[in-house]
Amino acid sequence: MESLLCDEIWLEKEEELKNNVENSCFFKSKEDCEEAFKILLNKEISYMPKIGYVKFIKENCFIENARFKAIHWFIKSQRRWNLSFGTCFGAASYLDRFISLNKCQGWKYWMFELLSIACLSVSSKFHETSPPQLLELQMEGVEHLFESTMIQRMELTLLETLGWRLNSTIPYSYIELFQWNINTLKLSLLRDFTSSVNDLLLRILLDVKFLELRPCVIAQSVVTCISEDLSLLIDDSCFNNFTRLIPQNQKDDLSKCQRMVINKQFLIKEYQELITSEVFNYGPSSPVTVLTMDQHVLCDIPQGDINYISNANKRKRER
């Protein structure tokens, strides 16, 4: 039996752990990072919501509130199911792109719930090795339960509307590049840095105003603000080689974005209270749910138009 046991080292040296982190990174040189940064820059604008989206959201109180609740549900689901941050950010990207293309005029709240579930489901299938089941995703935080067939049809509508383009370039896409560039930090500081950056990016998701800015600008601003907030001794050259690659017409937005990010940093307490509260938690925490018998028929959905779902296979939870 002893021959079957492996020699395990429970306490590795920090340097050894750091080497493991570096070796797991796809990028092996500064040139690799810069080339990846350029590719993301070229792609990002095609994954942004259509021009005028923020104005449209601000002029439609119902859609603005429904979007906020959806993003809030994404964040809580990410924590509940221990999903990757990429899954949460991806779902938010799909949601905003879909709404900007469809406008969602005349929608009811259950339609947004259906869309939200479809966005998170598709994103989890794209990013996770073991995505949650459709029923599991609806265990908490939604007001209606939808049949799997209906969600799957909404997923297809979502995919067709997005042109099957799921590898969205978002602020989170740039974070690994910045991480590689500051690998001189101790592992503990690098973890604090990464955790703070991800937390701030989640807070930013809730604010639709940031959608007016390019993802590269948001990523650069968040990384700079977190570095200053943690008083990290990072050489300016670590970020300058990326900053110089940002289009000149976008550099003016860097200072504007940094001011917006700083304001978000002051809302840490409010954000944490929001995420841990049950303000937007419509469903019971128990998987045992009482359902009404209110069922309808799902109509065929033409590509990219959920407005044709006049009736749905949905069941409303009883309070």
Q: What is the CA radius of gyration of the chain?
A: 21
Residue 158 sits in the same domain as residue 64: yes
Q: What is the pLDDT of residue 12?
A: 41
- 108: phi then psi, degrees, rounded to nearest 5: -110, 165
Residue 161 sits in the same domain as residue 181: no
In a domain, 224, yes or no: yes
Residue 74 sits in the same domain as residue 137: yes
- Which of 87-101, 220-234, 287-301 shows the lowest mean pLDDT across its residues? 287-301
**CA–CA distance, 253 with 238 (Å, rounded to integer):** 20
Residue 106 sits in the same domain as residue 242: no
Do 229 and 200 contact (CB within 8 A), yes or no? no
* Residue type for position 238: C
Residue 145 sits in the same domain as residue 203: no
Residue 184 sits in the same domain as residue 42: yes
In a domain, 286, yes or no: no
**CA–CA distance, 248 with 132 (Å, rounded to integer):** 42
In a domain, 80, yes or no: yes
pTM for the predicted model, two decimal places:
0.78
In a domain, 292, yes or no: no
* End position of a domain, from candidates 167, 187, 217: 167
Do 241 and 174 contact (CB within 8 A), yes or no? no
Q: For residue 132, which of 88, 102, 173 has the smallest C-alpha distance?
A: 88
**Between vectors from CA 118 to CA 113 and to CA 121, what angle results, nearest 5°?**
125
Mean pLDDT of 205-218: 93
Q: How far is CA 45 from the centre of its chain?
A: 17
Q: Any idea what the CATH number is for the domain that residue 181 is in?
A: 1.10.472
Summarised one tens digit per residue, pLDDT across range 146-184 is 999 999 999 999 999 999 999 999 999 998 888 777 765
Summarised one tens digit per residue, pLDDT across range 91-110 is 999 999 999 998 777 888 89
Q: What is the pLDDT of residue 25?
A: 54
Residue 123 sits in the same domain as residue 87: yes
Do 137 and 121 contact (CB within 8 A), yes or no? yes
In a domain, 305, yes or no: no
Residue 76 sits in the same domain as residue 114: yes
Domain count for the chain: 2
Residue 70 sits in the same domain as residue 156: yes
Residue 72 sits in the same domain as residue 149: yes
Q: Any idea what the CATH number is for the domain that residue 95 is in?
A: 1.10.472.10
**CA–CA distance, 111 with 101 (Å, rounded to integer):** 15
**CA–CA distance, 272 with 254 (Å, rounded to integer):** 26
Structural domain of residue 78, as residue ranges? Answer: 60-167
Residue 71, pLDDT > 90, answer: yes
Residue 195, pLDDT > 60, answer: yes
Using a pLDDT cut of 90, give the percent of the chain over it. Answer: 45
For residue 285 the two structure tokens come to 């925490």
